[in-house]
Amino acid sequence: MGRYSFQIFSLSVPENGENPSWTLHVSGKIRVGESNSIPAPVDLNLLQSRCLEETSIASFYQKYRERGIDYGDSFQGVQQLQSNQKEVLGLIQLPEKNRF
């Protein structure tokens, strides 16, 4: 079984000639290997009953645009978001024009 770490950075190069800087956006670990175990089923109704706070999808994508990330129409697959303090439940669907 293999274990790997990863990090995703972006490089910012100032126009004024100052030194470029790297920004770490995410890091994680991946475990690769065969598994004979089947994940426990999730009780979707129970999860939905705990995630009562709905997030506006328009404001969700607007927050990313304000951070400089514009997904465009082709990559806006999030259709619904519900959450609580510890969990998020989302409905993600490929936009209609990208379906085969």
Which one-letter amino acid corresponds to residue 30?
Answer: I
The pLDDT of residue 21 is: 92
pTM across the whole model? 0.56
53-93 confidence digits (pLDDT tens): 999 999 999 999 999 999 888 889 999 999 999 999 999 99
How many angstroms separate the Cα of 15 from the Cα of each of 7, 12, 19, 22, 24?
26, 9, 10, 15, 20
Report which of 22, 21, 24, 20 is spatially closest to residue 7, judged by C-alpha positions: 24
How many angstroms separate the Cα of 37 from the Cα of each of 33, 34, 41, 65?
12, 9, 12, 40
**CA–CA dist 24, 67 (Å, integer):** 15
5-20 confidence digits (pLDDT tens): 999 999 998 888 789 9
